[in-house]
Amino acid sequence: MRGGDETLLRGLLTGLAEVCDPDSTSFPLLVRRGADPPAGVARHPAFPRYALPERSRAMRYVYDVPRLLATEIGQVDLLYTQTHAPLVGSVPNVLQLTDLSFHHCPELYPPLTRLRLNALVPLHARRARAVLAISEFTRQDIISTYCIPPERVFLVPCAIEPPPNPPSASVDTRAVAEWLSQFGVRQPYFLFVGNLHPRKNLKRLVEAFELARGRTEALSRHQLVLVGTEHRFYPRVGLASSAGIVSVGRVSDVDRDRFMRHADALAYPSLFEGFGLPPIEAMSVGTPVLAANTAALPEILGDAALLVDPLDVEAIAHGLVQLATDANLVTKLRERGRVRAASYATRRSGERALEAFEWAASGPRKPSTSSMPDSGLAAGSHSRSIPGSSATRFTRRQTVPSQFLMVTTTTGLLAPLSRTLRANPRTSILDHHRRDRA
């Protein structure tokens, strides 16, 4: 089952494949054994692949990347990384940050992890040529928390690939029941998908489900199904405290999709999210969503989800009851959800990422101003609101030759990528880094 970081990267690579010109652009991919790139990337002529040895992250930075640059790739002028970056080197960096939960909720992280993140991430962010944020909430948080000039922080939203099988009105209920029984699950059920990290707020979700189930006859047969792996630093949080709760662990991407399609609703009362991919993925297959009204979730989900206070067990329970009993609400959320999910297209992420890379590769320069208002859902050129000023738009420098290379350590995926804009290309390397967090 893909995690959020891998989904983010797949969406970004798919978007880049959609917008690049294979005659003038190349994205060499450094891939791990068993990597499974998106179909549009695997078959794309602009994405040649190179083998990446199985090593620690430190060894990749210290040995593998320099070796590949010296022997196969060549000189680089831009490095893309997620969360972390090399502490030494002259190559400008574009840093991807998904959220700063480790800063705002340090108690939810093991001591060594929060020490590492709070010591290194601010340093990486301030040294980076540009920083990519996946929501306007995260963008503003990065600017204010780390005192980074707004023009250096770009909004590049996550994107999801279209569902492999669009939702169908006809469902073979017997086949679905037989499939669910393999996991000890039966309909109806509420679903949670994600890493079992403390900030996902599963303890309150379990309490709310038991409360709602005990109070409301309509929920007496419901189950709460938990799909995802335990975080290695944390014990289980009483997830099987009643017969109505089923924890199925990690499943395949196909099974994950089926669980979403057949759920009454996705419950996602996370305490802190920089984006929130599972709710958008659930919306894309027509499943209603209950989510927290905190951090980036209201921005990302808008009025297409039922938002509740994640600290209020009663509010979560009431939301579950609504989704089980209010047919009009469910119909409205299904319709709005599909529209909302469709707005997070891979092409838009690819366009915005390329503009950020080109801006960073071209070197610091003053932006041109525009009166166009910014929207987190707008497609096309990159623009964003800056406190105290009009919206800012950066124009591309089409005369700057560049090549960008992306290296991933995300399990099961691939990753590097590079871009040639004109003849006599220079190079730029991007390294997608897996984080020790949800």
Q: What is the CATH number of the domain that holds 338?
A: 3.40.50.2000
As for how many domains the chain has, the answer is 2
Query: Taking the CB of residue 165, how many other CB atoms lie within 10 A of it?
Result: 11
Last residue of a domain, one of 342, 373, 397: 342
Q: The CATH number of the domain where 37 resides is what? A: 3.40.50
384 within domain boundaries: yes
Q: Which domain holds residue 357?
A: 4-159+345-432
Q: Looking at the structure, tell me whether residues 198 and 336 fall in a common domain.
A: yes
From CA 109, how far away is CA 37, in angstroms rounded? Answer: 31
Same domain, yes or no: 111 and 209:
no
Between β-strands 383-384 and 79-82, what pairing exists: parallel, antiparallel or unpaired? unpaired
Within-domain flag for 210: yes
**One domain for residues 349 and 338:** no
Q: What Rg, from alpha-carbon coordinates, does the chain have?
A: 22
> Which pLDDT tens digits describe the chain residue by residue (438 residues)?
577 788 898 899 899 899 987 777 677 777 777 777 888 888 888 787 777 777 776 677 667 766 776 777 666 667 778 888 877 777 788 899 999 999 999 998 999 999 999 999 999 999 999 999 999 999 999 999 999 999 999 999 999 887 766 666 567 889 999 999 999 999 999 999 998 889 999 999 999 999 999 999 999 999 999 998 776 545 555 555 567 999 998 899 899 999 999 999 999 999 999 999 999 999 999 999 999 999 999 999 999 999 999 999 999 999 999 999 999 999 999 999 999 999 999 999 999 998 998 898 887 554 433 332 233 333 333 333 323 222 233 333 333 335 566 554 443 333 333 333 333 333 333 333 333 333
Distance CA 83, CA 96 (A): 6
Q: Contacts for 433-436 with beta carbons within 8 Å, 24 or more apart?
A: 433/57, 433/81, 433/82, 433/83, 433/84, 433/408, 433/409, 434/5, 434/57, 434/82, 434/408, 434/409, 434/410, 435/5, 435/82, 435/83, 435/84, 435/98, 436/113
Helix 313-325 with 327-342: angle, nearest 10 deg = 100
3-class SS at 186?
coil
* Domain match, 337 and 354 both: no
Listed residues 311, 342, 373: the one ending a domain: 342
Tell me what pLDDT residue 417 has.
Answer: 35
Give the pair of three-digit tokens for residue 383.
């623009």
Are residues 324 and 308 part of one domain?
yes
Same domain, 80 and 54: yes
The Cα 131–Cα 97 span in angstroms is: 7
Question: Helix H segments across 343-434?
Answer: 346-362
195 and 306 in one domain?
A: yes
Position 164 in a domain: no
CB 417 within 8 A of CB 27: yes
Question: 165 lies in a domain?
Answer: no
CA 70 to CA 393: how far, in whole Å?
36
pTM recorded for the entire structure: 0.82
Phi-psi group of 286: left, alpha or beta (phi > 0 → left; psi -120 to 50 → alpha; rest → beta): left
Phi, psi angle pair for 322, to nearest 5°: -60, -45
**Based on the domain organization, do 181 and 295 belong to the same domain?**
yes
The CA distance from 35 to 86, in Å, is 24
Q: Say whether both 416 and 387 belong to one domain.
A: yes
Looking at 342, 373, 398, the residue that finishes a domain is 342
Structure tokens belonging to residue 69:
């640059």
Are 212 and 291 in the same domain?
A: yes
Report pLDDT for 226: 95
The verdict on 379 and 396 lying in the same domain is: yes
Of 301, 283, 292, nearest to 199 by C-alpha is 292
Judge whether 395 lies within some domain: yes
